[in-house]
Amino acid sequence: MLSLGQKAYKGGQIYSWLYKVRQYDFHQMTDLTKEIRNRLDEDYVFNLLEIENESVSQDGTRKFLFRLSDGNPVETVLIPASMNTGQGGDRATACISVQSGCALGCRFCATGTMGLLRDLTPGEMVGQLLGLRERFGNDAFTNVVMMGMGEPLLNFDNVLKALHIITNKDGLCVSARKVTVSTSGITPGIRKLADLELKSSLAVSLHTAIQEKREQIMPVARSFDLNDLIDAMRYYTRKTKSHITIEYILFKDFNDGMDDVKALTHFLQGLPCKLNIIAYNPVEGLDFTRPTDEEVDAFARKLYQRLPAVMVRKSRGSDVNAACGQLAVQQQKRRK
């Protein structure tokens, strides 16, 4: 607004119209003068992301394929609190993407088979949430996790800008405590987040506390090893006075033995955290096997006595490839 010779507060008015009211026609922004509205309409455009496809799981989880302006795809998942609330509602979680594809190439993840197409802009991240609210209303979701396609800490600046809009009272007005940033262990980014002392939560995808095994399934571990990762996580908890959520995907006959229990116990000892254990969701063409529910529960029981907070999470939306690790546009050619 200043660049248009207007008062700065008018920028706040437009901000509220776009994100809070969800009014994208400048001519309908009635607290602006007709002159400003005409100028905005001439020089600016505000386009929502286009929903190209929607898949609905038996458990009520919905997966959306958004097509970006340049044709690149991203997927977004809306997870209801229960099977009875298929359109969001109470405690629904929106899982949004931060990149189209992903460069990390984790061996168990469908998104990694796409490679990285490009980073998303802040508007494209927020746009996924606006699309959900356009479809289901202001109560479409209560929680947001940056846990879809891509690695948030490799698109750091854009993620921060998106976080500001998502949590701002005149933006999407989501409590920062209900927003989670998930990383595969980009340790410089974890330290930068700690220094910013944001109120949002942090989740770290660990999957094994044995360095050699982690390198086998997560190439990023070669650049940021477990010693560096635990140092960064301890720094984060000290600086922010908050817990970290540790994500642990369980693969049958790979990271489910007693040696894995001992390594995990030793690695997380003294770290303020909670551990989420989730069974691997199969991806066609990838050589990992899903453990049974009984095997997952047995692994968790071995950890209950050793770690302060252990939870077994059930997968949602796996029948439409919307579960953890399954996001990859089916039409997109996969890399070998």
Does 288 score more than 80 pLDDT? yes
Tokens, residue 36: 């400003």
Q: Minimum mean pLDDT among 108-122, 164-178, 193-207: which range?
A: 108-122
Q: Which residue among the candidates 42, 75, 197, 212 is catalytic per the annotation?
A: 75
* The pLDDT value given to residue 315: 62
How does the average pLDDT of the chain come out, rounded? 90
Q: How confident is the model at residue 58 (pLDDT cuts 50, 70, 90)?
A: confident
Contacts of 101 (CB under 8 A, 6+ apart): 111, 114, 115, 116, 117, 118, 149, 150, 332
* The pLDDT value given to residue 93: 95
* The pLDDT value given to residue 316: 57
Contacts of 62 (CB under 8 A, 6+ apart): 54, 55, 56, 77, 78, 86, 317, 322
Residue with the bigger pLDDT between 113 and 336: it is 113
324 flagged as catalytic: yes
Average pLDDT over residues 275-304: 91
83-136 pLDDT, tens digit per residue, is 443 444 468 999 999 999 999 999 998 888 889 999 999 999 999 999 999 999
Q: Which residue among the candidates 95, 106, 273, 324 is catalytic per the annotation?
A: 324
